[in-house]
Amino acid sequence: MARLEAQAAERVIEACVRTESVRKCVFTSSLLACVWRQNYPHDRRFPTIIDENCWSDESFCRDNKLWFALGKTAAEKAAWRAARGRDLKLVTICPALVTGPGFRRRNSTASIAYLKGARAMLSDGLLATANVETVAEAHVRAYEAMGDNTAGGRYICYDHVVRRPEEFTELERQLAMPGGAAAAAAQGAGDDRPARFELCKRKLGRLMSARRRCTYDTYYSVAFD
């Protein structure tokens, strides 16, 4: 499956490169392409920061049967390889578990796959959600900013970090996960120990605020000139 996702990503980039009218691409990856590694350096006093420079370890994902994370990691890496040295600007958005309108009625297969390894993510401070509207806005902002070269690389995207087992139980209810899977994953997690990791979306925050300022300035310039 990971190989197929990587091949699909390569073909998307190749199609962009061969289409003369396309010179910018915003590729949707996943936060799971950033968070899974065998050994993170860890200072017990402070959480390790997880940002856009972090990549999931494909061997670790394979050994732990984290197939969704493996596929997303392989696909994003393939996209970057295919775009390297080509006449195409590439940005990748790495959203957390996507939620939002219709979340309860959606097919939950991908969301359940995302939550493989959720117990570890919850206890380590790595389980997060992103409203679909936030994810969509991040894609639009990134695409617009690529026009003046103020966007580039990867962007982590999330709204909320799930820290308590009861929040996780609510996810289970919304997803109608079979057999109490989420509740079982939450057992032993969410205790009083400080999280080992801290997610960081500062880069996306700068991009979003910059574009909002630009829109605000443009509106008032047109309205009052």
Enumerate the active-site residues. 72
DSSP 40-57: ---BTTBPEEE-TT----
The 8 Å CB, 24+ separation contacts for 184-192 are 185/115, 185/118, 185/119, 185/122, 186/118, 186/119, 186/122, 187/119, 188/119, 188/123, 189/119, 189/122, 189/123, 189/165, 190/122, 190/123, 190/163, 190/164, 190/165, 191/123
Tokens standing for 28?
Answer: 């949707």
For residue 153, the surrounding DSSP H or E stretch is strand 153-157
